[in-house]
A and B are shown apart, each in its own frame.
Chain A
Amino acid sequence: MRKKMKKVMAVMVAGSMLMSMTGCGNSSFASESTTESTTAQGADDSTISADSPYAGKGYNFAEKENVVMYVLGDRPADMDTVLEKANSEYFEPDLNTTLDIEFLNWSDYSTKYSLLLSGGEQVDLIYTASWCYYNDEVAAGAFKLLDDDFLKTYMPYTYEELPEEAWKEIAIKGDVYAVPKGKATFTAYNGAVVRQDLIDEYALTTPDSWDNFKKYLEELAALQSETGVTALNTNANREQLFTMFCQENTLQGVTEGYDFIYQANNSEDAPEAEDISYTYMSDYYTDYALQMADLASKGVWSSNAVNDTTDSQAYFENGTSGALVWNSTIFTAGDNLEAAGLGTYAVYDVTPDTKRSRGAYSVDATAITEKSADPERAALVLDYMKSDVDLNRLLLGGIEGTHYELDEDGNRITLDKAADYPWNGWAWAINRQDEPDEAGMDERAEAYGEHCEEMEFVPAQTGFTFDPSSVQNQYTAVQSVVSEYQQSFALGIYGDGTQDAIEEFHQALKDAGVEEFTDEFIRQYTEYKEANGI
């Protein structure tokens, strides 16, 4: 008996030991299509309404199908009601299809994303972005290649509507694997929301430039024991000041998703290869790290901010932070602060003379998966969501009259039920150029938006994408070094030892192969530059 127990134990131990991180050997790819696909041959649209924008175009809608779409975010409380309406009024009568929307939560999307694509679940459409594994998953063959023919045939309206820039930005070496959003905003441009009440009360410096902003933070830090407000209450999850530092120095990223920068000096010309440097190896970054260490030593943020995980926006909203630096969501943070009656806010464009680029269209996109049983039908569903104004608004903002309504100028007014279906809570990748603005928008927000429009610039190399596959090992190792040090430099935890830490960081990057990685980037960029004559 005892011996047997031992054997069982042994088997279990051996098993658990060898069970590695490889996960389950699930290999159910492209779950075989049992339904006939929606190909343009064998047209059958007797099952859809004659008013459908897709009627009479030669599609086959004989089979009723269900399309599953995955997006990021938290499921709104009224999602089911909205979906029911969308299905019964749009997808079922016009496409003989039902749509299911599933959510990947912010807390675990990074771990679930790849598993979802490799696992057996039905996934037809999925949110992707330059920052959400687009390049990696394309390299792994997860997304369907959307060539011109396919797009023209199965996404006829979207193909016409999207600006050429959008297609260019999402393309990898000229091939499109996802459908970008229809409206690009200045999400990559950061401003600062600060506590106007404190500025007035203590006669603090007006933060209208980078230096003055730093001064404001330092003055506020010196008053902390009196005000109880941390000047910039931040944490390790958001690097708040780097983008602003780049704006101050007119540093521009060469392409989305990879950390290569050059000094643009507000010029739209494509940079020369020798002017491009890897962000973390550049002198700019050293300068930034030293400035951050200086701010940290003056107590602008708590010395253990790096171990803190509370959201910085919440800190501003609950009145314990003197500033928040981010994109236009700073207005939301300011409004929430005022709504809670904890103080008043003002927003400053700290670098008003710097030209700014729109966030790329590729920062939000929807891909059709390789394993989708009927990619044509999925494409039509996506096309419909993006091209039909009413359907699009229903998905973006819920039911008109319940969640929102439009005023006579076509601006949207938030209604009481909006909390159950906040405007554009998840549908960033399907928004349209004509998305209505919020009515009664704060003057401060309007002025800020207008200034951004005025200062827009589009660098000539827009559309260049990098393919890291030939230097994948170096790229991965370099990324790991960066992720190890990045937050620590951003929060200035090395103090006087920053210069030494930077040298150590550079050495670690070199050991990881940053030079091969950079060379390959420059090589691909030069090739693109010559091919496009920019």
Chain B
Amino acid sequence: MKKLLSRNKVLLLMLVPALLYVIIFSYVPMAGIVLAFKNYRYSDGIFGSPWVGLDNFKFLFVSNKVWQLTRNTLLYNIAFIVFGMIFEVGFAIILSELNNKVFKKFAQGFMFLPYFISWVVVATIMLNIFGDHGVVNSILSAAGAGKNSIYSNTKWWPVVMVCVRLWKQTGYGTVIYLAAIAGISQDLYEAASIDGASVWQKIRYITLPSLKPTVMIMTLLALGNIFRGDFGMFYQIVGSNQLLLKSSDILDTYIYRLLLTTPDVGMTASAGLYQSSLCFVTIVAANWIVKKIAPDYTLF
């Protein structure tokens, strides 16, 4: 043990900041979970406030809304993860196969750009393009077609959300896969070329299998947050349009609206705990499944 410590001294030291970070910001606050079971009073403090059992959770279930919300959150995130992965891996491969360096950098930069735009701005841009007096409608009406606002067309809304999300996030994800592709030994490609493999065959038999571990890890990490919606995105783009809320209300926006009018610390904590528990169950289950299929790629 001692030998192990001294041998890895530098590595362990390098670990210390991350470890401290996790302890301070992730483990210590976990004690706050007790708030979910308490009627929090400022004067009594977190641990002195009276216990109320599961009372704080009742509000989530009182209107039966929580199932619809959980479903929305889950389905949106599954769509984001699946399509996100396909697009990110796809674009990473396309970029890696490009020979024109200038165009490659240019394309990559452009793909990355939307990642830095805040959802607030995205929402405004969308309104100005797809809204009542937006660009699309102006072109349509100039061409003699009738007005059509996506804001009152609920059917397509899930598709819209997925598209917007892909537009914004693909660039970022692509960078990760591009890095993974860069890490694949060129010897493999050279050997394949000598054996007469085509570009497609190289992608199919070298690039994709080599990306498997990265894809697995990224997916597992994403699964950990599957019950946690992208609040900024949904809140900004959907706002308080009830027509859209039917298909686009997620746990996060619901809880936000709920507690904005009645700021109750206990209820907020219980909502957070509900979400966290679902995430916890998902990640443990997903990891368990991965362990069965491909034990090398598990997180823990």
Contacts and interface: CB of A to CB of B under 8 A. Distances in A.
A472 B25 contact: no
A238 to B, nearest CB: 12
A8 to B, nearest CB: 7
Interface stretch (A213-221, A306-314, A346-354, A459-467): A306-314
Given A27-B47, A303-B152, A473-B62, A484 B240 contact: yes
B240 A236 contact: yes
Contacts of B158: none
Interface in B126-147: 127, 131-133
Contacts of B28: 24-25
A77 interface: no
A370 B32 CA distance: 21
A20 B264 contact: no
Interface of A: 4, 6-25, 27, 29-30, 110, 113-114, 117-118, 133, 136-137, 140-142, 236, 302-304, 306-309, 370-371, 472-477, 479-481, 483-488, 493-494, 501, 508, 511-513
B62 A24 contact: no
B283 A136 contact: no
A349 B224 CA distance: 57
B151 A306 contact: yes
B59 interface: yes
A493 B240 CA distance: 11
B33 A15 contact: no
A357 to B, nearest CB: 23
Interface string B190-229: 0000000000000000000000000001001100110000
B90 interface: no
Interface stretch (B38-46, B76-84, B93-101, B159-167): B38-46
B221 to A, nearest CB: 6
B58 A12 contact: no
Nearest to B133: A302
A473 B55 contact: yes
29 contacts: A15-B26, A18-B276, A19-B26, A19-B29, A19-B276, A22-B272, A23-B29, A24-B29, A25-B28, A29-B42, A118-B265, A140-B40, A140-B41, A140-B42, A236-B240, A303-B149, A306-B240, A307-B127, A308-B131, A309-B239, A370-B43, A473-B58, A477-B65, A479-B261, A480-B65, A483-B257, A484-B249, A487-B240, A493-B242
Contact of A20 (B47, B62, B152, B273): B273
A409 B217 CA distance: 76
Interface string B259-300: 111111101110111011001100100000000000000111
B89 interface: no
Nearest to A114: B263
Contacts of A306: 151, 239-242
B268 to A, nearest CB: 6
Nearest to B62: A477
B244 to A, nearest CB: 8
| Interface residues of chain B: helix, strand, loop or mixed (majority) | helix
A121 to B, nearest CB: 13
Instruction: Give the most central of A16, A236, A307, A488: most B CB within 10 Å.
Output: A307
| Interface residues of chain A: helix, strand, loop or mixed (majority) | helix
Q: What 8 pairs across the A-B complex have the smallest Cβ distances?
A: A21-B272, A15-B26, A10-B300, A22-B32, A488-B242, A20-B272, A480-B258, A141-B41
Given A20-B32, A476-B267, A480-B257, 6 more contacts: A9-B299, A23-B32, A472-B264, A475-B262, A487-B240, A513-B62
Nearest to B63: A512
A483 B43 contact: no
A512 B65 CA distance: 9
B295 to A, nearest CB: 12
A6 B261 contact: no
B243 A307 contact: no
A488 B246 CA distance: 12
Interface of B: 11, 15, 18-19, 22, 25-33, 35-36, 40-47, 55, 58-59, 62-65, 123-124, 127, 131-133, 149, 151-152, 217, 220-221, 224-225, 237-243, 245, 249, 254-255, 257-265, 267-269, 271-273, 275-276, 279-280, 283, 298-300
Contact of B299 (A13, A21, A27, A484): A13
Contacts of A7: 300
B6 to A, nearest CB: 16
Contacts of A307: 123, 127, 131, 151, 237-239, 241
B26 A20 contact: no
Nearest to B280: A17
Nearest to B126: A307
Instruction: Give the most central of B11, B25, B132, B221: most A CB within 10 Å.
Output: B132
A208 B177 CA distance: 66
A133 B273 CA distance: 24
Given A481-B63, A483-B240, A483-B257, A304 B272 contact: no
A20 B252 CA distance: 12
Given A24-B32, A480-B254, A18 B43 contact: no
A17 B279 contact: yes
Contacts of A508: 63
B22 A15 contact: yes
A479 B262 CA distance: 8
Instruction: Give the most central of B15, B131, B261: most A CB within 10 Å.
Output: B261
Contacts of A18: 26, 30, 276, 280
Contacts of B47: 27
Contacts of A477: 59, 62-63, 65, 258
A479 B258 contact: yes
B33 to A, nearest CB: 6
A303 B249 CA distance: 20
A15 B22 CA distance: 6
Contacts of B238: 307
Contacts of B280: 17-18
Given A12-B18, A479-B262, A141 B44 contact: yes
A236 B243 CA distance: 13
B260 to A, nearest CB: 6
A27 B47 CA distance: 9
A425 to B, nearest CB: 24
B132 A302 contact: yes
B263 A136 contact: yes
A29 B47 CA distance: 12
A304 B132 contact: yes
Contacts of A371: 42
A485 B45 contact: no
A136 to B, nearest CB: 6
A183 B43 CA distance: 32
Given A20-B276, A23-B29, A474 B62 contact: yes
A524 to B, nearest CB: 17
A483 B261 contact: yes
